[in-house]
Every structure is written in C-alpha cells, then in structure tokens.
Chain A
Amino acid sequence: MTVTTSGTLPDEVYDVAVIGAGVVGTAIARELTRYRLRIALVEASDDVGDGTSKANTAILHTGFDAVPGSLESRLVREGQRRLAEYASRTGIPVEPLGALLVAWDEEQLAALPRLAEKAERNEYHATRIIGADELYSREPHLGPGALGALEVPGESIICPWTTTLAYATQAVRAGADLHLNCRVESVAGALGDETPHELTTGRGVLRTHALINAAGLYSDEIDRLLGRTDFTVTPRRGQLMVFDKFARDLVRHILLPVPTALGKGVLVAPTVYGNVMLGPTAEDLDDKAATGSTAEGLDFLREKGGRIMPELLDEEVTAVYAGLRAATEDDDYRIRSHPGRRYITVGGIRSTGLTASMAIAAHVVELLADSGRDLGAARELEPLRMPNIGEASPRPYERADLIAADPEYGRIVCHCERVSRGEIRDALASTVPPRSPEGLRRRTRARGGRCQGFYCGATVRALLAPEAPDTFSTSGTSGGGEPSLRPEVGP
C-alpha cells in the first residue's frame, strides 16, 4: 500500500499511469488493479477527490434526461446500476428518494411529456406525470404556483466524498501507487514503439507504458501536452448553498428543475448528511481555479430557492461552495483511445461523472484491452467497508455496541455533525489519510456543521496535527491582553 505526498517518484516503468484522482481517475485506477498491472495514480492536489468531484450536486442519476444514443447516456445508465450495487456493498451512503421535476409554468408543464418520452428512449421506463394535487400532498412545503411534475423514482442522493475515497482506498490496497502533490508539467516519449511515456511532474519524472488522462478540468491541457487539440474545457461554475439540518424535514424528494429553452433552473435536494442543498448556478468561465462564490450567484440562488420552497430561506445557511464542471464544446463525453500512443483521454466528463464513474472505468479498461494490451484475467478485489457518514443508517455515536467496544466512539468532538474522536482517529490512520482539515471533513464530516468550527475547530485541528506549542502564542494560562474591569460579553 503506497501513498506518497513528497519526494521523488519510484524509478520504475509503470504499466499504466492515470492522471487525476477525482471520482473518474480513482474509479479507473480501481478497475485496473483487478489485473496484474503496476498502476500509478498521479494527482496534483494533496488529496483525492479535491476538484470537481468534491463540489457537485451529489446525485446518483438514472440518466433519464441524457442525450439518447450518446456515450454519456449508456455509461450513466450502466454506471448507476454498478454504483448503486457497489455503494450498498461498500457502505457508501445512498438514499433512494426519487426525483420530481416540478413545472412552474405552462411551458414547463408542456415539456413534461417530452421528457417522459426522452426517458423512454434512454431506457428508463418508470417516469410518471403527476398533477398539482398529488405534487403538493407529496411535497407540502413547495412554494405556491406549481402546476405538476414528472416523477423519476429511480433518482438517489449519494455521498460523493465516500465514493471517491472508496475507489482510491481499494486501488491502493490492491497495489496501485497514489502520488499526491504531483502535478504533471510535460509528457515526452511513446511515439509508437515500446519507449515509455515520460511524465515530468513537480516531483520529478514518472515513466509509464500506457497513459490515461482523467484530469477533469485540465484534461484538455494534458491532451495538448501529447499534441492533441480535440476539445477545450470551459469551466462551468456551479454555486451551491447548503441549508441547516432543520430544513431537512421540509423536502422529501430531489426537486429538479424542468429544462427549457431559457436554460436549466436550480434544484433543491436533501443531502445524505441530513442537510438541504440549493443550486447550482451555471456560469461559463475562463479561470479553472475560480471556485469562489459571488454575491450575484447567492442572490440568484436565494431568489430561486424562495420560489421553490419559501420556508427554506428561514433556515440558517451552513455552507456555501462552488464547483467547476468540465464542460466542452461537445454534448457528450470525450473518451478517445489513441492505441498507437498507448494513450486514452477521458475528457468532458460533466456533472454525471459521479454516477457514470464505474462504467467509465470499465469502458476505459475495454479500450485498453482493445488497443492490444494483454491484461490477463481479472481478479476480485478484497471487499471494502467504508465508515458510514450518512444519516440513513446508524452513525457511531448512536451505536452502543461500538461504544462498548471502544469508548472513543462515544466521545463526540464535532457536536453539530456528531463526529466522534474514534472516527477522526480512524480517518487519520486510514489507507488514504487526510492532510488538511478539509480532507478530514470529507472523510468524517468533522467541522462541517452549522457552527463551522466555533466549538470544535481548534480541537479538530489539534487532532489532525498535534504540534508543539507555537512560538507565536503566549502562555495559555495567564492569557494576553490588557486587564479590563468591565464585565465582558463573552467569549
């Protein structure tokens, strides 16, 4: 089991290197470790799933509204089946809530039959159009003015963080090398013969026989390093608001917008952590690092949210974040094999990438085998059970058996999200451990709740990096500052 974060890279020629440890790259690495291959997974960030994969709408799609006949349509449909099955086996939180596409005007209402028919062409047969009465009886807190809805019962919510982490954990345990903090700067070699690709990274050279580009937002740039200019990634920013857990009882389904000529609206959906999400915006940008939220974006979301579910806005906002989807000029995934160069590009994987990830991985392995590479027989991977961070099944703080066996699971550190010291300890000792408070949050939910660290932030940081008292700090017993005889309003 090898995860490296610094220093030079191993002096060996890997069979396959995957660039990008997002949900797609980790899924591919995991699938490849089923064969007798030396696999390297190379990631620019200090953690897996730290780009587009961490900031999405966390929905396990049926693919009912994909472009019929497209590669995306097929891989989403197949990926949904694979991931739903994998999630239940692996302990990835999933809640099969079903979706309602709510029509707010006549144009949207008129679009519902076409969407139902499109779902049929995508081999999804369970949709049903419901009237306003049924809609309001099923979603009593919906704002006034909804005319009807298309029900898509197969849509689920899922934990995107555990999914990526599970793939990465299984890949590493099965022998893949995960190299973090390892940005690919240039690629040389591999012009037809058996010369390996030579990747120059921020941590030195990595050599590999075959190369898979799963670099997400940067997949076009990696392509260009290999002389290909097939597509360009235009980052599409999605800002999202996460509402307090008290909003959870307001909403029962995933409430999707009806896409019309005027663009896609925003969705309101529960999260597996017991919150409610509102978003995303859709802003085409040039900057692949522009993951900030904006006043305009938040105003837009509040206005939309106030229409869909007015009571939502009475609740506190727990967090605001923005993610970038890897949109391209094409309306489909850009998965291309270049057998002569032993190179596969996995580009243009948009918001459906989480759902399709396992099918994309299987597809890529097929392409690799088709390119003449003898992969040998596939083996079954060692089963994996991930720590549960979802609300649908008991968490450690609710389990007398766990606490009796190990009282650390009864010592809650993060009170808003009820994360125990035992879970934080486990995450720090895990196969792919966190390197930052944010990484720890994605593994445990610690510090991710309504107080955002008011109570637990300092303790969580201390658990993450137990360090000697810093010279910046003065003594903790006498305290600093001038005395004041006035009663203080704390803290």
Chain B
Amino acid sequence: MSATADRDAVSSVPGPGRRRRSVDVLVVGAGPAGLAAAERLAASGAGTVEVVDREEEAGGVPRHCFHTGFGVRDLHRPMSGPAYARHWRDLATGAGATLRTGVSVTGWAGHHGREDSPGGPGPLTVETTGPEGLESLSAGAVVLATGARERPRGARLVPGTRPAGVFTTGELQQAVHLHHQRIGVRAVVIGAEPVSYSAARTLRSAGVEIAAMVTEQPHHQSSWASGLGSRLRHRVPLLTGTTVTELLGRGRLTGVALRHDDGRTTTVGCDTVVFTGDWIPDHELARRGGIALDRGTRGPAVDTAFRTAAPGVFAVGNLLHAIEPAGTAAREGRLVAGPVLRYLTDGAWPGGQVPVEVDAPLRWVAPNRIDPRGPRPPLGRFTLRTARSADRLSFLVVSQDGRVLHRARLRRGAVPNRPLYASADWIDRADPGGGPVVISAG
C-alpha cells in the first residue's frame, strides 16, 4: 500500500482524540461573504450557525486593506477594510452565529464529505484543527466562502533568481499594515488594475518609491481618477504592453527585466516587486471534497442559488469569481441564506442543470449552471471577465445548440480584470434538455 493510500485511509476514520460535534449550518471562511451568510442564516432561524476561519482575526482580505472605499455600495458609507470586516463580524455574532477563528478546515471525512452511516450517507462532515484540538464537525449544510488569492511569481512562471523583496499585494498589505515591517526603497508594481493601485498606495504609505507600474494590457484597468492621480500626482510611470521577463539579484532583488510589445527590452532597478491581481479562487477544500469546478472560474461550478454539484454544499463570494468587490461577496452571503434554509427544510437538490460557458476572449462566467425554470442570478445578471481589451468588444451573444437566446450591446466596451455583466433575461428561453449555453463576444 502506498503512503498516499495510507493517508486516505486514516482520514476517513476519525482519528484518536478527534472530537465529534454537529451544527445545523457550517460556514467556512469569515470574510464578507461568509460573515454575511452567517448573519442572515442565524437571523432567519437556521438553528446553530457556525463560521470558522483559519486566520486569527475574522474579516478576510478587507482585514488588511487599510484604504477606504469599502461599504459605499452596500452600506452607503465609505469605510476602511478593517472597519468593514468588523461591521460584518459584529452583525454575524450579534445575530447569534458562533464565530471561531484560528481554526483550519483540513479536509472532509469520508467520501465527498459524507461519512457512511447505517441506512445511507450521513451528514456532511469536515475535519478541523485548532489550538483546542482536532474535531469532526458535521453540519446539515455547508457554505464555502474561502475567497481567492493572487497568483504569486512562481505560478506566473516569471524566470530569474529567487531573491528577497518579491511580494503579492496581500503579503505586502499585511507586512505594512499589520506587522509594520520594512519593505524596501524602490518598487515595481506588476499590474495596473484596481488592486495594483491599492498596492501602490500601500507602498507609498511605507515610504517606498514606485519606479513603475507594468501591465501587459494596452491601458491600465482602474478608474480614470486612480490612473491619472498615480501618473500625475505621484509621477508613477505606467508601462503598458509590457511583460516582466526576469527577476534579477542574489539575496535581495536588484531589478526586473522588461520587454515591450514592440520588442524593446529594459531593466528597471528596484529592490521590491509586487505581483498584483491575477486572482485564483482558493478552491482547495472544494476540490478535496470532489466538488466539480468550473473550467473558467476555477471555483466550484454553481447554479443561480449558489448550489454546487455536491448536495448540501453551497459556495459564495470570491471563491466563485476571482474577484469582485467585497460588497458583492457580502451580497451573495446574504442571498445564500434562502436556498440554504429551503434545503434544510426539503433536502431537495437539483440535477441535470445546463452549463453556461464562454468563448474566448471571454475568460469566465459566474454563476455557470442554470435551470431554465429556476431562479435568476443575483441582480438578474451574470458576471463575466474578458482576457483582452485590444479589440474593443461591442456585443455579447448568448446561444444554445446554435440557437441565439440573447444579444446585447456593450455600451462601455469590456476591460480585462474589470467586471462585465450580461443580463439573465434569457434563461427561461434555454432548453432544459439542451447542450451548454455559450456566451461569446465580438
């Protein structure tokens, strides 16, 4: 028997010293999506609602986003990330949800999270580790809200040495705002989307000069104010159509080599580089449970009621679409409460849904499963991303088996790394027994 098989065998039986406990609903991840879900579920009588987070503090990514702008759309007042995180934490615990931080969900018990029990599959059960020990935690329903992370340098296959001074925005923000660590003197920011400008602000607040912002795209992908402010007020050069080809330096970073679309190459001296954006859902727990992922989003495939392919397992927030603003994640958290309550009551889970896919240059769509007779997605729209903005996209076409279901003009074009929406008006026209619905752009 291989070591791997050994490990699997061990994890399917509660190990020695593993406590068993049950709740009605388990929420994994205490970011805006998870906390909002816990709040609404606890407030609407779902029973015992527990939200666990592996970090010591609840709040998810906003915890270390010290800039303001959170809460504008959903709470109608601007606040910092930590304040926004506290808001949702207080609402969730105030509504009666149990919040446990510093607790990691390490996997599922049994097959696809359901332990065998006499007479059929048992409840959904996960395994946790925390300072208080190991647990097998069972729940009637599980809501996954595990968020997303930025792809680090290695995953982007950027060649060169492996010096110190290489960050993602997430690590940079925690280093500066939570740990007050020294960052460096001069930085290059890879990316020019909203998060890249957040990274630039964090660098400036840490006294780091910004040598350049670099994007492969022909334009920056943030608001015009952000882009203009950065270039004029802070004199940060924006290098468009530019790729980072090598990291230089031993011990400490000394520079980055760049190549422009027209073939020119240059080296920018810097001791710090921040790889921003290029988000990927943190789908580890979903995948460990054998839950089908969507090919485009790389998050769990979900229908318009946040139901994954595994009965009883829901998913919300940036795990589904890396990434949307925190307010969108929180809205999904609130909206999942209804479907979860219905499932706890009737135990029904849909089968045979129609996949929704995209054609290049579109990269993904969420949600990505529909039931033509079922509910529409939140706000009556699908969220999409495109890969490029070189050729201006002017329309979207939704079709199924060659039949056009819907056609829409894109008034403002489509920019990579920025939300793009498609109306869901067409879903009742789709054939429940037909092939995948495909959204394409031109």
Contact = CB atoms under 8 A, between A and B. Distances in A.
Contacts of A292: 159-161, 246-247
Nearest first, the 7 closest Cβ-Cβ pairs linking A and B are: A480-B205, A400-B17, A479-B66, A481-B201, A452-B152, A407-B131, A469-B180
B195 A491 contact: yes
A110 interface: no
Contact of B131 (A289, A320, A411, A415): A411
Interface stretch (A4-12, A78-86, A293-301): A293-301
Given A458-B174, A473-B181, A407 B132 contact: yes
A377 interface: no
Contacts, number: 241
Nearest to A298: B157
A320 B10 CA distance: 32
Interface residues of A, number: 71
Interface stretch (B318-326, B356-364, B391-399): B318-326
Interface stretch (A161-169, A349-357, A390-398): A390-398
15 contacts: A293-B159, A318-B154, A318-B155, A392-B6, A397-B129, A401-B17, A451-B149, A476-B176, A476-B180, A479-B66, A480-B206, A486-B223, A486-B225, A488-B325, A491-B170
Interface in A275-301: 289, 291-295, 297-298
B183 A418 contact: no
Given A411-B102, A481-B201, A490-B326, A454 B171 contact: yes
A489 B325 contact: yes
Contacts of B201: 480-482
A248 B133 contact: no
Nearest to B276: A491
B408 interface: no
Contacts of B223: 486
Contacts of A459: 174, 179
B80 A479 contact: yes
Contacts of B170: 451, 454-455, 491
A485 B226 CA distance: 11
B201 to A, nearest CB: 3
A470 interface: yes
Interface in B60-84: 61-62, 64-70, 72-73, 78, 80-81
A252 B78 contact: no
Contacts of A307: none
B134 A491 contact: no
A297 B159 contact: yes
A404 interface: yes
Contacts of B326: 487-488, 490
Contact of A473 (B129, B169, B206): B206
Nearest to A489: B194
Contact of A485 (B3, B54, B72): B72
Contact of A488 (B69, B134, B151, B176): B69
Contact of A321 (B151, B162, B178): B162
A160 interface: no
A473 B182 contact: yes
Contacts of B323: 489-490
Nearest to B64: A491
A3 interface: no
B16 A400 contact: yes
A404 B15 CA distance: 14
B206 A488 contact: no
B81 A481 contact: no
A65 to B, nearest CB: 24
Interface string A441-457: 00000000011111101
Nearest to B150: A454
Contacts of B204: 480-481
Contacts of B226: 484, 486
Contact of A437 (B102, B164, B168, B176): B164
A482 B167 CA distance: 22
Contacts of B287: 246
Interface string B1-43: 0111011001000011110000000000000000000000000
Interface string A395-423: 00110110110011011100100100000
Contacts of B164: 436-437
Interface in B93-110: 102, 104, 106
A316 interface: yes
A488 B182 contact: no
A404 B17 contact: yes
A97 interface: yes
Given A412-B54, A457-B175, A490-B198, A484 B69 contact: yes
A5 B331 CA distance: 54
A293 B134 CA distance: 41
B435 to A, nearest CB: 23
Nearest to A320: B154
Interface residues of B, number: 90
Interface in B248-275: 250
A398 B69 CA distance: 40
Nearest to B248: A292
Interface in A26-80: none
Contacts of B134: 398, 400, 403, 410
Contacts of A478: 66
Contact of B205 (A248, A249, A481): A481
Most buried by B among A289, A408, A474: A474
Most buried by A among B104, B106, B159: B159
A317 interface: yes
Contacts of B154: 242, 317-320, 452
A483 B66 CA distance: 10
Contact of A479 (B10, B177, B207): B177
Nearest to B127: A398
A280 B155 CA distance: 18
Contacts of A320: 154, 157, 159
Most buried by B among A294, A391, A459: A459
Interface string B203-240: 01111100000000000000101100100000000000
A478 B61 CA distance: 17
Contacts of A400: 15-18, 133-134
A221 interface: no
A398 B168 CA distance: 29
B193 interface: yes
Given A292-B246, A457-B174, A458-B181, A398 B193 contact: no
A248 B202 CA distance: 37
B241 interface: no
Interface string B182-193: 110000000001
A236 B334 CA distance: 57
A384 interface: no
Contact of A415 (B54, B150, B174, B325): B54
B15 A398 contact: yes
Given A476-B177, A482-B201, A489 B68 contact: no
A481 B201 CA distance: 5
A474 B194 CA distance: 22
Contacts of A458: 171, 174-175, 178-179, 181
Nearest to A468: B180
A400 B149 CA distance: 30
